[in-house]
Amino acid sequence: MTIPLFPDQDPAVLEQKLRESFKAWVEYRARSGSTARSERPLKDESAIVYQEMWHAFAAYCASRSLDTTTVEAADIKTFLALRGAGNANGRPRPSTKGQELSPRYAWRMLTLIDRVTRFQARCDGVTPNPAATELLQLSEYRYANASHRDPLPDYCTEAQAKRLIGYLTEIRHSESASGPLTWKEVRDRTAVALMLGAGLTPGDVRVMTLDGVAVAGGRKAGVPWKLALPGNGNAPARETPVAEWAGRQLALWLSIREAQNIDGELVFPSTRSGKPWSHTGCYESCKAVLSGAGMGDEGGGVFKLRHTFALRQLAKGKTETEVARWLGILDINSMARYRHVLPNQVDVV
């Protein structure tokens, strides 16, 4: 175990410093313009998960007066052990999309630590700390990211999806069971409806514009049936179909949006003036919707809705190429994980 070099340093200050290192790393990747896997912009989904992981590591290091230059392999192994026990630095382990601390998860954590510490070393003009790199060479972690170890995607069962759709679509009436909904509550539920009914991510929801909603030419008059989405992070600009029930939900939201005189071109702004919905605000609001539907304690988070959409389309006979295009996935090999679910004939709505 490392002997702290700065025993008198305020842990809160050190933890914030480590958090800032992560933030700077994410921002660097967002503007790098690189296509290299380790340098290109992070998707919203990855950024959220990695932030949770790094913040837990930052709290652990701060409690022991360690930073990116002084942490050693033994310290990281202790952290992984505590993380696996559900307690790092006395705090509950944050959500990690339902994953346990498997060798694959440990590989992801070590890779994250390695990349952020190397980035910080480059910024400071010092030699990178090799601690995480050394651990990544161990056989227990080195092969943990092999493709055959890819976890199956979390998805909604038929019962879960029907329950969620019922909860989301009750707002077609003027009041919910607990009274009138605010315009933001309608917005939040409609955003979740498009995650399940059109395969959108929180990032897609935040950047979607009114001119990307296709109404003309659909099977039902006045009901959106297709969405055009701009490029977002690693995802290219694309079009995706909308399930009819979700299209009706979107039509309702657009009518409320107009009645509220909400400005701007964003479909889901955060304010009446049209201010963009923040990354954290969108994610937390959508998680609250799932909680309200009784799905807050179920694994997978909001991204299980996107996986459910993909499985639904594949089960209907759509090709992997079509579904990948609708999801904005460039690497068709990423669709392989869905093949391991479909042969089990799961029910998806």
- Superfamily, domain 158-344: Intergrase catalytic core (1.10.443.10)
pTM (predicted TM-score): 0.61
pLDDT surpassing 80 at residue 6: no
**Separation of alpha carbons 159 and 170, rounded Å:** 17
Q: Running DSSP on this structure, what letter comes out for residue 33?
A: -
pLDDT surpassing 80 at residue 235: no
- pLDDT-based confidence at residue 231 (cuts at 50, 70, 90): confident
What residues does each domain of the chain span? 11-149, 158-344
With beta carbons less than 8 A apart as the criterion, state whether 191 and 268 touch. yes
Percent above pLDDT 90 for the chain:
54
Q: What is the full DSSP assignment across 193-256?
A: HHHHHH---HHHHHH-BGGGEE-TTSSSTT---EEEE--BTTBPPEEEE--HHHHHHHHHHHHH
H helices of the chain, in order, are: 11-32, 44-63, 73-84, 103-124, 131-136, 139-142, 158-169, 183-198, 202-207, 244-259, 279-292, 303-315, 320-327, 336-339
* Coil vs helix vs strand at 184: helix
Q: Say what the pLDDT of residue 342 is.
A: 76
Average pLDDT value for the chain = 84
**Separation of alpha carbons 138 and 23, rounded Å:** 28
Task: Please give the residue that has the higher pLDDT: either 292 or 84.
Answer: 292
Token pair for 44: 């919203």
- pLDDT-based confidence at residue 106 (cuts at 50, 70, 90): confident
Q: Running DSSP on this structure, what letter comes out for residue 344?
A: G
Q: Say what the pLDDT of residue 89 is.
A: 46
21 burial (CB, 10 Å; 0-12 / 13-18 / 19+) is buried
260 CB neighbour count, 10 Å cutoff: 14
